[in-house]
Chain A
Amino acid sequence: MASESISVTTSDDQTIQLSRKHAQMSQTINSMLEDSVGADQEAIPLPNVSSEVLKKVIDWCTHHENDPAPVEKVKKLNKKREYKAKNSTISDEWDKNFVNAELRVIVDILLAANYLDVKGLFELMCKHIANELKGKTPDQIRERFGIQDDLTEEDKAAMRKAWGATKNDS
């Protein structure tokens, strides 16, 4: 009989217990569990995730544990494919609050969600970062994301020439 809680070891050598239900929301852990059916349950090493970030991930999983499983949407037969940008609206109030964190933390969670393969959380983080980019000028983006401006005036002029001035032009 499989035990109801799983222990994992994080990058900072902490052992954390999480419920099987939450662990299975991560495809990565889920496949590790399936591989080791019957074997003695040792702590699963997660060398890419720190305990601080893992706690955040578990928070999210706890809030979303009763969400319907992310089924691939049944495509309407041969429906005309539209290549619009994906919708980045975050509808869940709890989620809105959750992403209200320092960008450094957001990046860590994004990477963890990617590594652990928690689909919903990963999408949420991508949406949030995309929303942070929206409506900003290149200058504002550099400031927000702490990026060095390594473009020369010629580069900028060339870009303007190629793609035309836009309304948010700096």
Chain B
Amino acid sequence: MDFEGLPDDLWHLIGSYLSLEELIIASRASKRWHRILWEESRRSHLDFSSVRNIHRQKAITFISNFQRLKSISFKRFGPSLVNNTFLLELIAAKDIGGGSISSHLEELSLDGCRKLYYPHVKDSTACQLSSGSLSHDFLKRVTLLGLSHLQDLDDTWLDSTLPLCSSLTDLDLSGTMITRVPLCQKSPLKKIQLSYCLKITDESLQSIATNAPKLEQLYVQGCQEITSEGLRLYVSQLSELRILNVIDACKGSVDDDCLMTLTTSCPLLVELDLKNFNLLTSRGFDSLTRLKNLTTLNLDRCRGLTDEDVENLIKRLGRTVCTLNLSGCRKLSVKAVHSLGNHGRMLQNIGFAGINLTDSREALFLLSSNCQLLRVLNVAFCLGLDEDILFGVADRSRQNLCKLNISGITVSDEKLKHSFPHLKVVKGSVIQR
């Protein structure tokens, strides 16, 4: 049997391993290939993230070759292509079937396209953008909207657009200067990213809790204007929450009461990222043991954490937790390492950076021989750690580690490669020999 005999649907599967550019070239081999790989392509998604140096008009002609396109992504396409004019032209363009390109579009990802701006409504372009070109129909259907790092995104545009997006499940507004999140009522939103939206306040949390009760993922990393009180009052209403990221948020004001309320009312959490919350004490940490599904726990620089807390946590969560970051928890000592070694059978990723590990040889060896799933270890700037202990750890972990942060220790490159054959990423002082 030769290649001409392969059925079309197998070609479609092979085509899915090719990038856009490779697909275009391959489709020029013969009429049949052109038809199979291109015109009848079932591709309903276009990703321009990796395409470079394409002219604006060509991009539109290119896109218009697809009928019933469902998703376009211009992520980080940079300043060369995507601007307001382009978006308007794109949305107004017709596909080869004569229909409008935007008529089937459900997802449009514009993250990091710097030239895209949303001037005030008085400006004619913005009017078109908010009312005409991004038609109400499109907004009603759109399920994913990626607008992160759009420097000029303003509230006015969001006010006129977001309430219309009644199918939206995934919204990314990270790094923008918006002050509120005007969701529509009964929004089916599952995931919202507001990391480093520095002007976001508790009011937005309230709006999210009221309008999107089914929310599963909330990212408010670095949002300093929201408060512990806001988390306690509003985030606790999100009973479906699976992932909560409050790294560096709330000016560090999250306290035991807040954490206890959250762990009681969001029992489904699988990932919880706390960082720099010095007010937390044993009472708060103990409440984490209620989270029976927790797989990722980040307690970076929660300086109230003690050895006893770690023991309590790992004893009761050891069956689920795979990622545990205890970096910068200064009160911890060798005892904490011991309890992880005894109870943390599922651990894959451990962070110990900056902990005093004096006399920890035995504890670390126990950890590395018991935690056979361990892949990532961060022991940067740990007191009392030396080359010798490190290679002992390597021996006992069956050399499975693939990511290692050993800043502060000097090791020879050759020896490291020998001891950790799977190592892909290493941070620290390595001597090349």
Contact = CB atoms under 8 A, between A and B. Distances in A.
Given A137-B25, A163-B58, A127 B216 contact: no
A134 B18 contact: yes
Interface in A109-162: 110-111, 114, 126-127, 129-131, 133-138, 141-142, 145-151, 155-156, 159, 162
Given A133-B22, A134-B22, A110 B6 contact: yes
A147 B65 contact: no
A29 to B, nearest CB: 20
B28 A138 contact: yes
Contact of A155 (B24, B26, B31): B31
Given A136-B25, A141-B26, A164-B58, A78 B217 contact: yes
Interface in B21-57: 21-22, 24-26, 28-34, 45-47, 49-50, 54-55
Nearest to A104: B2
A124 to B, nearest CB: 11
Contacts of B25: 136-138, 141, 166, 168
A84 B47 contact: yes
B30 A151 contact: yes
Contacts of B243: 77
A103 interface: yes
B30 A107 contact: no
B425 interface: no
Contact of B10 (A85, A110, A127): A110
A146 B24 CA distance: 19
Q: Which of A130, A155, A168 has the most CB of B within 10 A?
A: A130
A84 B14 contact: no
A159 B34 contact: yes
Contacts of B5: 107
B185 interface: no
A87 B19 CA distance: 10
A74 to B, nearest CB: 11
Contacts of A110: 6, 10
Contacts of B32: 150
Given A138-B29, A163-B62, A111 B54 contact: no
Nearest to B190: A78
Contact of A108 (B1, B10, B24, B61): B1
B4 interface: yes
A115 to B, nearest CB: 11
B170 interface: yes
Contacts of A111: 1, 6, 10
A166 B51 CA distance: 11
Contacts of A168: 25
Interface residues of A, number: 47
B14 A141 contact: no
A130 B191 contact: no
A84 B49 CA distance: 9
A155 B73 CA distance: 29
Nearest to B64: A162
Interface string A94-111: 000000000110011011
Contact of B3 (A84, A107, A151): A107
B17 A77 contact: no
Nearest to B58: A164
Nearest to B75: A82
B17 A80 contact: no
Contact of A80 (B13, B22, B144): B144
A84 B71 CA distance: 12
Q: Which of B20, B30, B54, B191 has the most CB of A within 10 A?
A: B30
A17 interface: no
A148 B30 contact: yes
A110 B16 CA distance: 16
Given A82-B47, A147-B30, A166-B24, A77 B216 contact: yes
Interface string A69-92: 000000001101111111110000
A88 B62 contact: no
A107 B62 contact: no
A141 B26 CA distance: 7
Contacts of A138: 25-26, 28-29
A88 B170 contact: no
B242 interface: yes
B34 A151 contact: yes
B169 interface: yes
B26 A151 contact: no
Contacts of B20: 85
A79 to B, nearest CB: 9
A162 B61 contact: yes
A84 to B, nearest CB: 6
Contact of A107 (B1, B26, B58, B270): B1
Nearest to A50: B1
Contacts of A104: 1-2
A151 B31 contact: yes
9 contacts: A80-B170, A107-B2, A110-B10, A126-B13, A133-B26, A138-B25, A141-B25, A147-B30, A164-B58
Given A127-B17, A130-B15, A159-B28, 13 more contacts: A78-B191, A81-B107, A83-B47, A85-B22, A86-B16, A107-B2, A107-B3, A131-B17, A133-B14, A138-B26, A147-B30, A148-B30, A151-B28
